[in-house]
Amino acid sequence: MKSLFLIQNLAIKYAKFSLNKSLKSQLNLDLLPNYQTKTPDPNINYMLYVHVPFCHTFCPYCSFHKYAYDESLAKEYFKNLRLEMEQIYKLGYKFNSMYVGGGTTLINESELIKTLELAKKLFNIDEISCESDPNHIEIQNLNRFKGLIKRLSIGVQSFNDEILKKVGRYDKFGSSQTLITKLKNAINVLPITSIDLIFNFPNQTKDMLINDINLAKSIDADQITFYPLMKSSLTKDKIASALGLSKNDNEYEFYTIIEESFKDYYKSNAWSYAKKKLALNDEYVSSKHEYLGIGSGGFSFLNGELFINAFNLNEYNSKIQNHQSSIIANCKFNKKERIKYLFLTEIFSGFIDISKFNQTNNTDLLKMLNIELKLLKLIKAIKIQNNIIQSTQFGRYLWLSLMKEFYTGMDRVRAIFKDDSKIKNSSKINIMKTQI
């Protein structure tokens, strides 16, 4: 048993090393000043990702693309979002679901409502997910979104008052008890309500984690997500300044506690737990391999290529108003790296139907990732039976670790494209080699 633990520990380190090596070799971005958005494949139902880059409060651990909220700036931005929707509609895109991320997506309810109504009118979308902070979930606000938002994800992060104070959320969103009251009132207003928390804060104790788990379960939300704290080169100093440094990394121990605490819940993916199986969950990349992103700083993944929209708000607004594509860069992955990415995002949800995966992605998974799959079986991360690859509990922790590593790698993309000086007068950028 001890030898297996050591092997698994080495496997996690090697997997992270391997992923970073892939990012270094593959994240070579071509800048595309006059790019025209690809026309869609008529046989694919894409997901539409919409980015709303505004927040009232900037949390030290958050590296997402955002601006301080300004009402006039936001109104202009939402107007351009709707114009961009009309442009991609004319290209022939079809969407069966939509995810609105941020930022704080409900930061201007009236403008968001107009945007969601247009999306449903143009694309006949039924499944719309949005994110929110606890200040925008009053019943009268949420009632305005009935028939529009199907799933609302609310960022709570912690029920510990000391943590909330240190990260600047206590004064803005209220105490633990205030949050619980707000959340309980919000349950059942919209079809699906999810709450998001973070674990493995510096100096977070086991008792603090268990208290967060118990309070989260007491609210009776449809889904609860526990993200591991993600420290990238962009956020680690801010996190240390706000929360201090911790001698021990309790991530695996805490994840084991979370898994045990939610053994009576359905596992939506490696970090999300639902009362019952849901069609919508928090991690769209694990179920939607082809998605088009619109808005400032939006990402798209289309036919094995990553596309990046203009981050600079003035540049984005100008491009859309002049009927130009918002895309400013792309990256093409080789076939094996693409299959690795698709494997990770799909196994993140718990299992892979090999025949379906092969058919969808025009590959032979067992042959393409032969060595990788043998190693995953050896360290007991997966089981393969009846043409199904099934994740074990250790496997779920491995996918969580790798997804965290992937997202922190993408933080570098955001940092470089947010800083115009990094891309000025360039035609190609290697993200992992660029100084930030």
CA distance 81 to 76: 9
- Residue ranges of the chain assigned to CATH 3.80.30.20: 46-286
CA distance 207 to 272: 21
Query: If we measure between CA atoms, which residue out of 307, 309, 302 comes closest to residue 326?
Result: 309
Read off the pLDDT of each residue in 184-212 and give the average, rounded to a whole number. 96
Residue 338 scores a pLDDT above 60: yes
Residue 433 scores a pLDDT above 60: no
Residue 282 scores a pLDDT above 70: no
Q: What are the residues facing 102 on neighbouring strands? A: 52
**CATH for 2-31+335-433 (1.10.10.920, 3.90.180.10, 3.40.47.10, 2.60.120.200):** 1.10.10.920
Residue 373 in 3-state DSSP? helix
Residue with the two structure tokens 């109104």: 75
Residue 182 scores a pLDDT above 90: yes
CA distance 231 to 408: 7
Give the pair of three-digit tokens for residue 247.
């001698």
Read off the pLDDT of each residue in 47-71 and give the average, rounded to a whole number. 87
Query: If we measure between CA atoms, which residue out of 154, 125, 141, 134 comes closest to residue 189?
Result: 141
End-to-end CA distance of the chain: 42
Fold of 46-286: pyruvate-formate lyase- activating enzyme (3.80.30)
At residue 422, the pLDDT reads 63
At residue 2, the pLDDT reads 54
At residue 44, the pLDDT reads 85
Q: Could you give phi then psi for residue 403, rounded to 5 degrees?
A: -65, -40
- Residue ranges of the chain assigned to CATH 1.10.10.920: 2-31+335-433
Residue 420 scores a pLDDT above 70: no
pLDDT digits (tens, 9 = 90+) for 136-178: 999 999 999 999 999 999 999 999 999 999 999 999 999 999 9
At residue 280, the pLDDT reads 57
pLDDT-derived band at 17 (thresholds 50, 70, 90) equals low
pLDDT digits (tens, 9 = 90+) for 94-123: 998 999 998 888 889 999 999 999 999 999
Mean pLDDT over all residues of the chain? 88
Read off the pLDDT of each residue in 195-201 and give the average, rounded to a whole number. 96
Query: If we measure between CA atoms, which residue out of 384, 403, 383 comes closest to residue 393?
Result: 383
Q: Which of 21-25, 201-205, 267-271, 386-390 has the lowest mean pLDDT?
A: 21-25
Q: C-alpha angle with apex 42: 39 to 44, nearest 5 degrees?
A: 100
Residue count of the chain, please give it. Answer: 436
